[in-house]
Structure 1
């Protein structure tokens, strides 16, 4: 496969997943902001989401103060935000168009129809009671694309690079969402209503609240929530599940292309091994924030190494 084609497929997967992740985070934050009291606590929720999505620096450059309306606009319809939904949909469609012949009809239609419908929207789509419906629509469009890829794409290098981008972005999102609320997982954190709401918000952000109930059959606790999102292999958005699939996908790419491996393969294996051997009590005792920032840094490095070893160019 040409490296340029692989590059576009990789970033198609990343940008499509990113748009859906921002929508999930927005839905959970909107719920938390409605419950927050006093008003400053609501502002903290929006600030946390901006940090988790990596959009805070750009937001501060463009806005003098933080309000819910400004944060929602920045994360949804503002094409000037490279980490927002608008940029994600635009970039996903641009990459899909470049490699259209490598995609199935269902994949192309999922991306292209989303782009067409999104361009018809105006600011009224994110106002008031319409915002939750808009976020559900974005999430459903991401699920449609992922489902089309899973159900219709040949399991060749095109599939592998698209899937690799999706899973790498998903791992980064889970780590960032958990890290931004790490104080609620500290050893001294009280099991009160405020922290309970924080644990719920993290689970809702990755659509894992019902999964938690199925796995544990118990009340939320910081150790159980952290374990589910970090170390449980059966949760598709856990870090362990994501890096297992990243390592497997990179191995499959290497085996299909002469067996040559590089630093990206070593990093993926190291990340997977670290999580496979992890212990949630030890992680929390040593400090969840330090653990997650290390994972986030290694994830960024892994993406760069994949770009250097396999891809023609790297996009932000």
Structure 2
């Protein structure tokens, strides 16, 4: 496979995953905002900007910190790379570059997601916002379903690899923002606002039902952290995305007959994550642990680019 084709497939996976994540984050934040006081609602939207690393461009846009302004900024503002619209535009560009490698259903899902924004952004009250993100999620689910029905070859493996790298970054940032900066000043740890925010985290990663299955003692922050760090049963956990990264790289190595630095780096991370204990991480510093994971994931992304000659 040509390196530029591999790069387009990898970035297609990353951008589709990112668009889906931002859609879920906006949806969960809208629901939290509706239930919150004014100040708690502002903090929820501020945290959404922090998770997506779009706080600085939002401030530069000189808009008020309101539900409609932040939602529009994260959904349809083409001026920055963190919006759903920009993610889907980049996904579509990469999909067009490798159109012959994709099934008709996969291409239609990517194109359909991009076309959502033609006529839906005239207003963004809560119901309209939820309608837009629901439509985006439906198309990204359609892409995921189409991907499952495609041949298990280099095409699907590079897409899966991009998705796994992106998912690691998203989950680590989501958990880090909640644990490190999200609880408003004066609010009690374990109070109503705190519980609502942890529930928002679970909603963003589609893990509300999974949490109830795996933990019987009600909502506890330490259990949410454990779920997102260590439980491989949850597809968006750091453990699961780490395993998926290794799986995709191993399968690509078998097809190509060679391995490289990215394989070694991914397996080293997988071994360390498997030994990680949530209680130890919380005691030693969850913020530091997650920041290290984000930095390491960026290095792995660079190693993948070098190994497969993306640049």
- TM-score normalized with structure 2 length: 0.94
Q: Deviations over 1:192-226 (max 9, x none)?
A: 22221121111011010111001112301111111
Residue 184 (structure 1) shift: 8.4
- Alignment map for 1:1-316 (pairs within 5 Å): 1-37=1-37, 39-124=38-123, 126-151=124-149, 153-183=150-180, 190-262=189-261, 264-313=262-311
Residue 94 (structure 1) shift: 0.6
Summarize the Cα distance change of 1:119–1:64 in structure 2 as closer, same or farther, 3 Å threshold: closer
Separation in 1 of the partners of 2:193 and 2:42?
Answer: 15
Q: How many residues align?
A: 307
Alignment partner of 1:194: what SS?
helix
Between stretches 49-58 and 6-15, larger displacement belongs to 49-58
Separation in 2 of the partners of 1:270 and 1:139?
Answer: 33
Separation in 2 of the partners of 1:250 and 1:56?
Answer: 33
Alignment partner of 1:235: what SS?
coil
Q: Deviations over 1:101-141 (max 9, x none)?
A: 011111111112222333343333x3342111111111111
- Whether the 8 Å contact between 1:226 and 1:280 is mirrored in structure 2 is yes
Separation in 2 of the partners of 1:17 and 1:111?
Answer: 11
Residue 239 (structure 1) shift: 0.3
Between stretches 230-239 and 39-48, larger displacement belongs to 39-48
Between stretches 89-98 and 269-278, larger displacement belongs to 269-278
Between stretches 62-71 and 231-240, larger displacement belongs to 62-71
- Whether the 8 Å contact between 2:120 and 2:132 is mirrored in structure 1 is no
- Whether the 8 Å contact between 1:81 and 1:87 is mirrored in structure 2 is yes
Alignment partner of 1:181: what SS?
helix
Separation in 2 of the partners of 1:73 and 1:308?
Answer: 36
Separation in 2 of the partners of 1:168 and 1:20?
Answer: 14
Q: Deviations over 1:13-54 (max 9, x none)?
A: 1101111100100111111222222x2222111111101011
- TM-score normalized with structure 1 length: 0.93
Question: Gaps (5+ residues) in structure 2?
Answer: none
Separation in 2 of the partners of 1:101 and 1:235?
Answer: 32
Q: Deviations over 1:248-302 (max 9, x none)?
A: 111111221122322x122211221221101011011111111111111111111
- Whether the 8 Å contact between 1:184 and 1:222 is mirrored in structure 2 is no
Alignment partner of 2:152: what SS?
coil
- Whether the 8 Å contact between 1:184 and 1:199 is mirrored in structure 2 is no
Residue 64 (structure 1) shift: 4.8
